[in-house]
Amino acid sequence: MNCRYYIPMLNLVGRGSVSDVGKEAAILHGTKAFVVASEGNVGEAQAKQISDILSSEGLTAHLFCEAVPNPTVSVVEKGVGRYRDSGCDIIVAVGGGSAIDTAKGIGLLVTNGGNIRDYDGTNKSKHAMPPFIAISTTAGTGSEVTQFAVITDDEDHSKFTIVDWHMTPNVSVNDPEMMLSMPPALTAATGMDALTHAVEAYVSKNATPVTDAKAYKAVELIARSLSKAVKDGSDIEARENMCYASFLAGTAFNNAGLGLVHAMSHPLGGKYDLPHGLCNALLLPHVMKFNMDRASGRYSELAVAVGAGKAWHTERENCESFIRFILNLSREIDIPDGLSEVGVKSKDLEALADEAVQESIGATNPRPYSAQQVLDVYKAAF
């Protein structure tokens, strides 16, 4: 079993770590930063905060606060134009997966040219991006440490995944103080995204001892802290544990890959514009049931890690305990009961299943699947 382990060169995790961003940008020879953030008041405030930190180290900043949920081709293209016009020499993204994925798309096009669709697939670019710092403000996406970006086509709402190690940020930041004002529903959804990253990486066909170590610890931290962070957003210890968990889960799936949950959640998120983490949370227990016979030993280990399983129980018993544990956690943090509750229509499920089987992100799922089997999982999650 060979391991190729990609990770940012520098990873800052913990309280107050964002204050080092200016210093690190200067070390990367940045003089003018293109700061990418989400549209709206929250994104603008975050971009301003980063701009102030950068200016304390002598950098100027051009703010691009236009990232949208499920980032689109058109926003990436607009960002490329603005980057070129602004004369920036470093990219700093601040926000959730949307802002960071938007920044990755912009960076890739700035140095490689062409259309962002050209990079759909694996390692299609020839040149490195400009220096890139990614600051996560939601503990879940993992985008701040990964070589992945998921972009949505404006016209047909289809999503495509760019896998390119040139997009791996030079520096990642996970500071719990940046997450204190995150509302409970977003904390819950992004936390379940992190849990899904860890679980899918742990049972992935490409898992290695390196990714296992990251994913296992991430699951344990999430079991201990997610519900606390949702119930009391000011619980800095729970927030910090979620930072570590999200970071660890991100480094695990960046190298082990994901599975059927993500393959099924991408078409759902694209079609209905639903939060990515929410889609994962609704699908995860049902995909685990589908995978159970091929991954019972692995799920059983995670069940023991979270205290839901016992070493002397059978693997099957532990799998079922782990699934129950996840369902209970979802209920505790107010995740809805099924896809029908978030507006998914049963008449769309067949087309969604056809799309899901085309998603390359599912290739590392422990059990192969057909469109009919995926449809059955969607129905079970309905």
Cβ closer to Fe ion: 193 or 320?
A: 193
Could you tell me the smallest distance in angstroms from the CB atom of residue 264 to Fe ion? 12
Could you tell me the smallest distance in angstroms from the CB atom of residue 124 to Fe ion? 21
Cβ closer to Fe ion: 80 or 261?
A: 261
How far apart are alpha carbons 252 and 34 in whole angstroms? 28
Could you tell me the smallest distance in angstroms from the CB atom of residue 197 to Fe ion? 6
Could you tell me the smallest distance in angstroms from the CB atom of residue 144 to Fe ion? 13
Could you tell me the smallest distance in angstroms from the CB atom of residue 108 to Fe ion? 20
Which residues partner with 94 through β-bridges?
Answer: 135
DSSP per residue, 88-124: --EEEEEESHHHHHHHHHHHHHHHH-S-GGGG-EES-
Cβ closer to Fe ion: 193 or 240?
A: 193
Cβ closer to Fe ion: 101 or 193?
A: 193
Cβ closer to Fe ion: 21 or 218?
A: 218
How far apart are alpha carbons 55 and 68 in whole angstroms? 26
Convert 114-135 to b/e letters by CB count within 10 Å (16 or more is b).
eebeebeeeeebeebbbbbbbb
Cβ closer to Fe ion: 130 or 169?
A: 169
Could you tell me the smallest distance in angstroms from the CB atom of residue 377 to Fe ion? 17
Residue 126 to residues 102, 109, 117: CA-CA distances in angstroms?
19, 11, 15
Phi, psi (rounded to 5 degrees) for 183:
-65, 155
Q: How big is the chain, counted in residues?
A: 382
Instruction: Give residue number: closest CB to Fe ion.
Output: 193
The answer to whether the beta carbons of residues 65 and 99 sit under 8 Å apart is no
Could you tell me the smallest distance in angstroms from the CB atom of residue 88 to Fe ion? 28
Cβ closer to Fe ion: 166 or 262?
A: 262
Cβ closer to Fe ion: 190 or 300?
A: 190
Cβ closer to Fe ion: 179 or 192?
A: 192
Q: Which of 378, 333, 328, 330 is nearest to 352 (CA)?
A: 378
Residue 275 to residues 171, 249, 297: CA-CA distances in angstroms?
26, 19, 31
Q: Which of 361, 117, 111 is nearest to 257 (CA)?
A: 361
Could you tell me the smallest distance in angstroms from the CB atom of residue 269 to Fe ion? 10
How far apart are alpha carbons 103 and 149 in whole angstroms? 9
Q: What residues contact residue 113 under an 8 Å CB cut-off, 6+ apart?
A: none
How far apart are alpha carbons 194 and 202 in whole angstroms? 12
**What are the structure tokens assigned to 306, written together?**
């979270």
Kindly list the residues in this chain that would bind Fe ion in the complex (CB under 5 A): 193
Helix H or strand E segment including 286: helix 276-305
Could you tell me the smallest distance in angstroms from the CB atom of residue 280 to Fe ion? 6
